[in-house]
Structure 1
């Protein structure tokens, strides 16, 4: 659903740029509360994984494909504020390096693909987690439904933005019907990917899933065909506090998976246009599409310039993209984490000083 340059006029693109900048600023502040010494390194991994999976377009209807948006996945794994930042980093990398999503439309894309999907999915997810039995399966089911609803929500927001600032005169009812209809189907794929990923992580390290925190009821285990309460976790030895449990295994497995998906599996992705591209071509939204400012990038269109073999070119571009995204994302989240530590240190010093004065 990457909006290219030319779909939306300059004033509305600028307005969504302001909204996107405000959302990122608020998310930078909110992410300080979500990230800790274990999860901060994983946030960069989540961004890289979303980048990789977005390369895997899957067929959803005749001549149409879809791909992961990633807002629900990021919000549930690392938190809604950090989720907005994860998807924003992915969109920035795609726009600058791969000419995917217009640079003047970056505000539109962040507002639609990062902000909308994350907020909608997390609100739905939290509501379902409160209503359903407090089990790991409920977290996975909630992730599925939240991801499913987030995609047509993003399609609806794009339609509203297009109604206000579209550069072509197309009946809004036609655009709405086409966009929401195809993105409901894409949402099924999004939901499946999100639920499978969340389920896999929660099965191995539930402590790393942000959306699974704060469950008051014990998790359930199936023993002899019956559901029983899982034994409460024993406190970790003093020499190895729980907060220090290594995340290296999860991080390494995630990076390997992202590299394999982007570097190898992506070659077999559907070549059909995605939902927005198909609707734009069918309805005439793309009549005023402008050439991307990064069209001459050596990685434009997810291929390495001057490498004629499509498999090698696309795979190498995917590997480079994963590497760039994890480096930039990890840098952002490391800086956020450092800022939190600095703030905590300042607050602690202030409290001690105040106490001493008293």
Structure 2
């Protein structure tokens, strides 16, 4: 769903760029509250994993494919503010290094793919978790529904932006019908990937899932006829916890490398939902050449490497590596800023 340069006019692109910049600034402040000893190391990995899975286009209809957007997954794993930053890092890496998503359209892409998906998904997720039974399975179910709804929401956001600043004269009703229709199908794939990933992490380390915090009911004891909370048990040994955390991180990074470097070769080559709608409805008539079209990694291939499998695999591995380094560096800096500020810990109103 990466919007290229030329789809949206300059004034609308500038306006969405301002919205995206403001959202990132707000997210940087909000992420200070979310990034702790559990989420900070995980956040960079989440960005790298989203990059890798976005290379795995899956077929959704005749001649059309889709891929993960990642807003729901990031928000549930590491928090909504940090989630916006994760997807924004991915979009920035893709736009600069791989000529995927226009640079003048970066604000549009961040608005639709990072902000809208994260806000919608996390809002739906929190609402469902509050009414569903307090169990890990409820988190997985809520993740599925939240991710499913986030994708057509992003498609609707693009449609509204196109109605305001589209560069071609196309009936907006036709664009809306086509965009939302195909992205509902893509949403099913997004929901499946999100639920499976969240479920896998919960099964191993539920404490690493931001959206699963507070699930456990406090045990009660009856003392003198009144129910009181059982005193909290001692936390797990720090060394054991760090070892388990590193294992999860290592497995996630290796999985990302394998997906981007090997599995991506077997991804669908059909155009994604936006590309298909753009071609069918004629909204791509004024598409501009990407500013980094001559990048050595443009179109997810390494320049001068003739073998397509090797070229794509190397590009994927490089992309995962660059994204995890860029993301981890940023989140480490945000986490360090929180530590330096030494502000009182805010009451966590997000807990179930």
TM-score normalised per structure 2: 0.92
Following superposition of structure 1 onto structure 2, how do residues 247-258 of structure 1 map, counting pairs within 5 Å?
A: 247-258=245-256
Matched with 2:349 is: none
Note the aligned Cα RMSD (angstroms).
Answer: 1.7
Matched with 1:14 is: 14
Matched with 2:180 is: 180
Secondary structure at the aligned position of 1:306 is classed as coil
Secondary structure at the aligned position of 2:65 is classed as strand
Post-superposition Cα deviations, 1:4-28, rounded to whole Å, max 9, x if no partner, equal: 0000000000000000000000000
Contact 1:56 1:266 in 2 (8 A): yes
Following superposition of structure 1 onto structure 2, how do residues 216-255 of structure 1 map, counting pairs within 5 Å?
A: 217=217, 234-236=233-235, 240=238, 246-255=244-253
Return the alpha-carbon distance in structure 1 between the equivalents of residues 241 and 128 of structure 2: 28
Post-superposition Cα deviations, 1:298-328, rounded to whole Å, max 9, x if no partner, equal: 0000000000100000000000000000000
Matched with 2:278 is: 280
Matched with 1:146 is: 146
1:37 to partner: Cα distance: 1.8
Following superposition of structure 1 onto structure 2, how do residues 1-358 of structure 1 map, counting pairs within 5 Å?
A: 1-215=1-215, 217=217, 234-236=233-235, 240=238, 246-344=244-342, 347=343
1:243 to partner: Cα distance: 7.2
Post-superposition Cα deviations, 1:192-248, rounded to whole Å, max 9, x if no partner, equal: 0000000000000000000001225379xxxxxxxxxxx9984236x6389756410
Q: Against the structure 1 CA distance between its residues 102 and 232, is the aligned structure 2 distance closer, same or farther, given a 3 Å change threshold? A: farther
1:168 to partner: Cα distance: 0.3
Return the alpha-carbon distance in structure 2 between the equivalents of residues 199 and 304 of structure 1: 34
Contact 2:136 2:215 in 1 (8 A): no
Return the alpha-carbon distance in structure 1 between the equivalents of residues 235 and 102 of structure 2: 49
Structure 1 window deviating more from structure 2 (244-253 vs 70-79): it is 244-253
1:155 to partner: Cα distance: 0.3
Secondary structure at the aligned position of 1:65 is classed as strand
Unaligned runs of 5+ in 2: 220-229, 345-352
1:41 to partner: Cα distance: 1.1
Contact 1:44 1:325 in 2 (8 A): yes
Post-superposition Cα deviations, 1:107-130, rounded to whole Å, max 9, x if no partner, equal: 000000000000000000000000
Matched with 1:354 is: none
Q: Against the structure 1 CA distance between its residues 272 and 117, is the aligned structure 2 distance closer, same or farther, given a 3 Å change threshold? A: same
1:271 to partner: Cα distance: 0.1
Post-superposition Cα deviations, 1:22-46, rounded to whole Å, max 9, x if no partner, equal: 0000000000000012221110000
Return the alpha-carbon distance in structure 2 between the equivalents of residues 92 and 101 of structure 1: 9
**Structure 1 ranges of 4+ moved more than 6 A:** none
Post-superposition Cα deviations, 1:126-181, rounded to whole Å, max 9, x if no partner, equal: 00000100110000000000000000000000000000000000000000000000
Return the alpha-carbon distance in structure 1 between the equivalents of residues 116 and 231 of structure 2: 37
Q: Against the structure 1 CA distance between its residues 241 and 253, is the aligned structure 2 distance closer, same or farther, given a 3 Å change threshold? A: closer
Secondary structure at the aligned position of 1:285 is classed as coil
Return the alpha-carbon distance in structure 2 between the equivalents of residues 240 and 198 of structure 1: 24
Return the alpha-carbon distance in structure 2 between the equivalents of residues 117 and 103 of structure 1: 20
Unaligned runs of 5+ in 1: 220-230, 349-358
